[in-house]
Each structure stands twice: as C-alpha cells, then as structure tokens.
C-alpha cells in the first residue's frame, strides 16, 4: 500500500447492508473506494468457533473472487456473561437459521428474564480481517462493554443495538444513534485499529 495510489478498490465482504454502510463510514479517509458484494453473491458458511475465524472465512472467499482488490470482512457478536458467552459467534442466528433481529433479541431477553440487573453484563466484539491484493492479511479487533437492558428501546441501529446499553450510558445503542455509536462501538474500535495498521503501511 503506497501513499501515491488513490482510491484503491475495497470490497466489503458481507451480505448485511447495515455493515457495509457503517464500515464504509468508519474507514473513510483510507483512500479506498468501497463497494459491497453483488446482491447475488453467496457467502461461505461461518463454521469457525471464533470471530476471527469467521471473518477470515469471508475475507478469503472475497480474495478468491476479487484477487486484484482489497477485501475486508468482519465478524461480530454479543457476548453475555450470564449465558456463558452466548450468543457469541452465533449472534446472527441465535434464534435459528434465517432468524430476524427481532427473533434474536426476543430469545436473548427470554433467556435473561430471571437474571438480576447486576448480572446482565455483556460486551460486543468485532474482528476485521483485511486481505490485500498481494495476499497479506491484517487483523484488528474491538470491544465495548455494557449491559443487556430488560426491553428494547430506540429505533436506530440494528441487531442487538436496542437492548445493549454501553458502559457509562443510560441509553441503548439504538437510542444513542449512529453518531454516538460511531465513536463508542466495537466496530468503531476495530475500524480504528485497522486504520492505524493500514495507515502505517502508507506512511
């Protein structure tokens, strides 16, 4: 990666349009022209037992399909202490394959129904894997601590945002909105770590 080249192509390897938009904003300024996978793209199954493993599966598939572009993939999820780390890597399909965000949130709240407020601690985790056209890999991760609320609140964001209250706040990610989330979230921390790595390459 050199400072003289402009607008390198970068494919964000996800079928989630919310993630494409959020990552594009968080990684803005890196001199990349971001694009999403085609609508008919088929992503490989996320069969790893770790966030980095699942992100790598998607990034390697993207690199195979777009060897001349940078590819960036993420895997993220909610880790709830009272549920022994669940939903974890199964966050997107906690309530089963094809589950909606609402299905997953409903099951989470059901599982935590009898859990005292003091024991509803959780954290969001995000791992980003970027693969350059030369095949070199760059891994970054980010976390944000918080608690799981007893009921959804707010209409911004996606996934578990309506029930996750970050540490030091009284409102959920969905209530705080995209601007605050861009500064606080696990994905924001991972994106900053990746920006730092890629920025060093162009220095």
Residue of 1, 33, 31, 36 whose CA lies nearest to 136? 1
159-192: string of b/e by CB count within 10 Å (b at 16+)? bbbbbbbbeeeeebbbbbeeebbeebbbbbbbbe
Residue of 98, 73, 158, 154 whose CA lies nearest to 124? 158
Q: How far apart are CA 201 and CA 50, in angstroms?
A: 27
Give the active site residues: 75
Q: Is 199 exposed, middle or buried (0-12, 13-18, 19+ CB in 10 A)?
A: middle
Site of tokens 């919310």: 18
Rg of the chain over all Cα atoms, to the nearest angstrom = 17
Residue of 148, 150, 159 whose CA lies nearest to 120? 148
Q: How far apart are CA 18 and CA 26, in angstroms?
A: 12
């Amino acid at each position: 990666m050199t400072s003289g080249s402009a607008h390198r192509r970068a494919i964000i390897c996800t079928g989630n349009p919310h993630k494409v938009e959020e990552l594009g904003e968080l990684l803005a300024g890196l001199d990349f022209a971001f694009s999403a996978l085609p609508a008919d793209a088929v992503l490989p199954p996320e069969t790893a037992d770790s966030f980095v493993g699942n992100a790598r599966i998607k990034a390697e598939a993207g690199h195979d399909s777009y060897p001349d572009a940078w590819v960036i993939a993420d895997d993220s999820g909610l880790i709830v202490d009272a549920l022994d780390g669940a939903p974890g890597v199964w966050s997107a399909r906690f309530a089963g394959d094809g589950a909606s965000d609402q299905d997953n949130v409903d099951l989470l709240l059901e599982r935590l129904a009898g859990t005292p407020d003091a024991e509803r601690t959780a954290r969001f985790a995000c791992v980003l894997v970027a693969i350059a056209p030369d095949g070199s890999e760059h891994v970054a991760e980010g976390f944000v601590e918080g608690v799981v609320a007893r009921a959804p609140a707010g209409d911004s964001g996606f996934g578990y945002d309506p029930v996750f209250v970050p540490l030091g706040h009284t409102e959920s990610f969905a209530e705080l909105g995209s601007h605050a989330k861009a500064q606080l979230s696990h994905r924001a921390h991972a994106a900053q770590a990746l920006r730092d790595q890629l920025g060093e390459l162009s220095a």
